[in-house]
Structures are given as C-alpha cells and as structure tokens.
Amino acid sequence: MPSINVEAQGLIYKNPIPHVRSVHGYFPSLATLDNGDLLCSGVLGEAFEAHNCRTHIFRSTDQGQTWENEGPIYPGPPHPSMSDFSRITALGDGKVVAIMTRHDRQDLPDDGLSNPENMGFAPGGVYMLRSEDYGKTWTEPELQTPPLVGPSFELCCPITVLPDGRWVWPTSTWFDWEGNCPNGLRMIGWISEDEGKSWSSYMDVMHEKDNQAFFWESKIVALPDGRLLAAAWVYDNVTKADRENQYTLSSDGGKSWSAPASTGLQGQTLTPIVLDDGRILSVYRRIDEPGLWANLSHLDGDSWVNTETVPIWGQQAAKLTGETENMSENFAVLRFGAPCLVKQENGTIYGAFWGYEDCVSVLRRFVLCVG
C-alpha cells in the first residue's frame, strides 16, 4: 500500500465568467488560523505577468472544502502599472503577516517581469502587511529595508517563524533590470529578531563562487532534532539547464550550512513540510515527468533518502513548461506551479497550487494523507 494518498482535490478559485473578462489565478499561499479557518492569498490578473496582477484573500470556514474570495488585500498601489504578489503566515491570536513584492511597470509598458536580455527583474521593493483580525482587514503595505543589496529579491516563500522565535524570510538575490547583482546570486534568509519591525541580518545559505547558479523557490524548515533544512530549485545559468533540487543543513541556527547536495529529485518549485515523525513530504513540479508530484523522504544523518513519489495533477497534460535556453521566455509560458502546504488538525496535509485548465489559470487544492 502506498504511504501517500491523494484524498481530495478541487478548486479554490476559477474565473466564473471567462467568456466576459480575462481573470487568471496564480501563486497561492496558505495559512491555518487558530479560529479554525483556512486562509489563502492568491494573485488575480489578466495574464501571468500582467501589470494588473493583485493579491486577493480567500477564506474557508469548512476545512478547505469551499472558499470565498474576500477581495484585494488592500485598496491598490499608487498607480495601475504596479503589480504585486504576496505570501502569508499565521502568527496566532488572530494575527497574520503578509510579505509582498511590488513591481513598478510604468517605464516597461510592454515588458514582463524579467528582462530577456539578462534575466533582470522589473524595478520594485519588498513590503509587509499585517492583520490582527484573522485576515479580514490589513494595514497598508510598508516598505522593508533589506539586510543586504539584492538588488532584487524573489518571492516564493512566506515568512517562517523559527523555534527560537526569530523570523526568517527565505529568498534569493536577483539581477535588477540592467543586470546588476553586486552580492552575487545566492539563497539567503532575511532575519528579524523583533517580529518584522526590522531585518538586521541574513543567513547566507547557498551560493557558488562563480555566481552562475540561481537558487529559486527556496524554503527553510525546522527539523525535530533542532537542525534547519533548506531546499531550492537550482538553475545553472552556464549550461542553461536545471540541476536536481538541492538541500543543505544547519546545526547552529543558520550561522553556517553544509555543502549543498542533491535531493535526487528532478524538478522545480520544491516545497517541503516536516511531518510529526520527522519525515519530509515535498510537493514539486517534475521536469522528467509531466505534472505536480508528491515525494516522501527522510534524512539518514545528513543524507536525503527518497522512499516514495506519487502523482497529484497534470500527468496527462502536454506543454506545461517551456524548454528553451532563455528562462525569461520559459517563465512566460509556464502552466502550473508554486505549491504550498499546511498541516490540518486531523493529521492530513492541505495543499494548493496554480495551474491552467481549459485555457484558464485556476487556484487548485488537494489533501494528502501520509501513512
């Protein structure tokens, strides 16, 4: 019998009138609230890199079976050509925090988010919004001061609260639109010791001396033995190809990390969650097989050991990812990704991701039971 079972699947959001207006859903982020609600942030816009992409809040009061769109997380940016994306974290006592990136597109009216000439990001900044009423109302976005020059930063992970109370935001440095990246390409973790009031330092998690590898979709989780585990999708900018997903470990709270090693998984957007017994459940977009998959693994000392992989969605679909040597072009034609996972009180794992179905990008949900 398999250890991973897909118990349920369904929708969080789908444009109810796609024949009238173009609205697609992207980049969900889940949080389990202490009042029993499930909260999801998601981006709605007319296209994958549209200027009108905005964060919306969705709520479920029945353990994720049905969802209601409560509207944009805030009234809107200073001008219409500024897109935003967010990830949310539940803090307890009704408090929720959202980390957001906004990209100013006024001077790039016909461009996407990345420069096809050098992979640089459109101009923007990192912001934070807070809620003290279970995500029903939010503060205005507050610009954050980074602990180092990015100059741009990727947003693929929410703020993680570590066992010692520190906040860490896993991210990666990225080129600006002109191709500048003074501190090199590296996976880092912004650190706050005052619950997000300031970001005083950072963890230096993964990088290479020649600065030719991107560490995308990075995540940091705490293990039962006190160590930290970091994982990332690694793209080699010299060979123009993905490597196997990499991981690294820290035994001193993120001050130092082991040499990055392969998980043995050929995929992208790897999202791990640590089960109560210490095993690691990961959901990722495979590149050797179509679709979204779940993988069960454990650590034998410092070694990553895979035990089971099962499909979740899209195994019969074609052309879900781009395959050119220009990653900006590949990003533009992506058709699914960004899985996120939370634990439920009954022991199951609730997940969400975005994917194209019938020419519309939707926010999908699933439930995994792990034996």
What are the tens digits of pLDDT across the range 341-370? 999 989 999 999 999 988 899 999 999 999
CATH of the domain at 318: 2.120.10.10
Q: Are strands 82-92 and 68-72 parallel, antiparallel or unpaired?
A: unpaired
In the predicted model, what is the mean pLDDT of residues 56-77?
96
CA dihedral angle for residue 195, residue 197, residue 201, residue 42, rounded to 10 degrees: 70
- Percent of the chain exceeding pLDDT 70 equals 95
Task: Give, in order, the Cα–Cα distances in Å from 188 to each of 133, 184, 213.
Answer: 31, 11, 14
Contact 160, 221 (CB under 8 A): yes
Q: Quick one: pLDDT at residue 333?
A: 43
Q: Quick one: pLDDT at residue 318?
A: 54
Tell me how far apart the alpha carbons of residues 147 and 297 are, in angstroms, rounded to a whole number. Answer: 33
Residues 6+ apart with CB under 8 A from 148: 173, 183, 188, 202
Q: Quick one: pLDDT at residue 322?
A: 47
In the predicted model, what is the mean pLDDT of residues 175-197?
96
Tell whether pTM > 0.85: yes
Number of domains comprising the chain: 1
pLDDT above 80 (res 332): no
Tell me how far apart the alpha carbons of residues 289 and 306 are, in angstroms, rounded to a whole number. Answer: 17
DSSP reduced 3-state for 321: coil
Q: Quick one: pLDDT at residue 314?
A: 86
In the predicted model, what is the mean pLDDT of residues 202-206?
97
Contact 158, 210 (CB under 8 A): no
Q: How confident is the model at residue 240 (pLDDT cuts 50, 70, 90)?
A: confident
Q: Quick one: pLDDT at residue 237?
A: 82
pLDDT above 60 (res 320): no
